Amino acid sequence: MAEVFTSIYFVAALFFIVALVYSSVGLGGGSSYTALMVVLGFSAPVIPVVSLLLNLLVTSIGSFNFIRNRHARFDLVVPFLVTSVPMSYLGGALQVPEEIFQWVLLVSLVIVALRLYFWRDTAFRLELGKTGTIVVSLLTGAVLGLVAGIVGIGGGVYLVPLIIILGLGTGQEAAACGAIFVWLNSLAGLLSRMQYNSIDLTNYIPLIVAVIAGGALGSWMGAVRLSRKTMEKILGVIVVVAIILLARTILLS
């Protein structure tokens, strides 16, 4: 751990880039923060807490920017939140062994990469009807919330494409809902984690400052400047690198 803090500003620079890219598409970056901290040797109790905190900060800014630009639709995101928030709190309370934690994270990243690179055609729409859509929303929210609390990710990277596939909103509306979804799930998971893990967050101030700056710039770019496809291509590169590094760490441990 000492070696990690000798290069804390380099880690902060990496987190700045992650926050910038993820926030541009309405996400917090939790999956990549978590993967990087595992690879860099952060202690297991620290990783979910710090990741959820950084997620919370980035999506606070993202939510504000998307709401200010009138992309947010609370009627769209609320059904997902009904089940995701309590399940995120439950996930944060679970004491998952480090090996299982790492494998769950790796699987999550692989799914993200598959979505970014192979699930490109989102032109079709699933007609589920009002009841079917609510049921899917509740079930999806529960699963994503549980994973969010356990691993320290927000789950928005799965929610955003689902909203588009179901034909529930536009790309920017989906990104706005993703930011709000990640924010509330991160808050629930963090509150739960903090009851069991007392961590001195002053050691992580450079990381906090970095993601705030990256989140502010990225969410502004996503809301008013760059196209979603452009930022997703950059996001894909970051996710693949995280997968390679994390898989190497798991297999060599």
pLDDT computed for residue 122 by the predictor: 47
pLDDT computed for residue 27 by the predictor: 77
Q: How far apart are CA 142 and CA 113, in angstroms?
A: 22
List, for the chain, all residue ranges whose pLDDT scores fall below the cut of 70: 1-6, 26, 69, 71, 115-116, 119-128, 154, 165, 222-235, 253
Number of domains in the chain: 1
List alpha helices for 69-97, DSSP H. 74-93
pLDDT computed for residue 190 by the predictor: 84
Q: What is the pLDDT of residues 214-228, one digit of tens each?
A: 988 887 776 555 566
How far are the Cα atoms of 14, 107, 197 from residue 32, in angstroms, in the given order?
Answer: 10, 13, 21
CB-CB neighbours of 5 under 10 Å: 14
Q: How far apart are CA 59 and CA 54, in angstroms?
A: 9
Q: What is the pLDDT of residues 52-108, one digit of tens each?
A: 889 888 888 777 777 776 767 777 888 888 998 888 888 877 777 778 877 877 887
pLDDT computed for residue 209 by the predictor: 94
Q: At what angle do helices 30-40 and 228-252 cross, to 10 degrees?
A: 30
pLDDT computed for residue 144 by the predictor: 83
Amino acid at 50: V
3-state helix, strand, coil in the chain (%, to 5): 80, 0, 20
pLDDT computed for residue 31 by the predictor: 80
CA 236 and chain centroid, separation = 14
pLDDT computed for residue 206 by the predictor: 92
pLDDT computed for residue 232 by the predictor: 66
Residue 231 belongs to domain spanning? 2-252
Q: Quickly tell me which residue has 């290069």 as its tokens.
A: 7
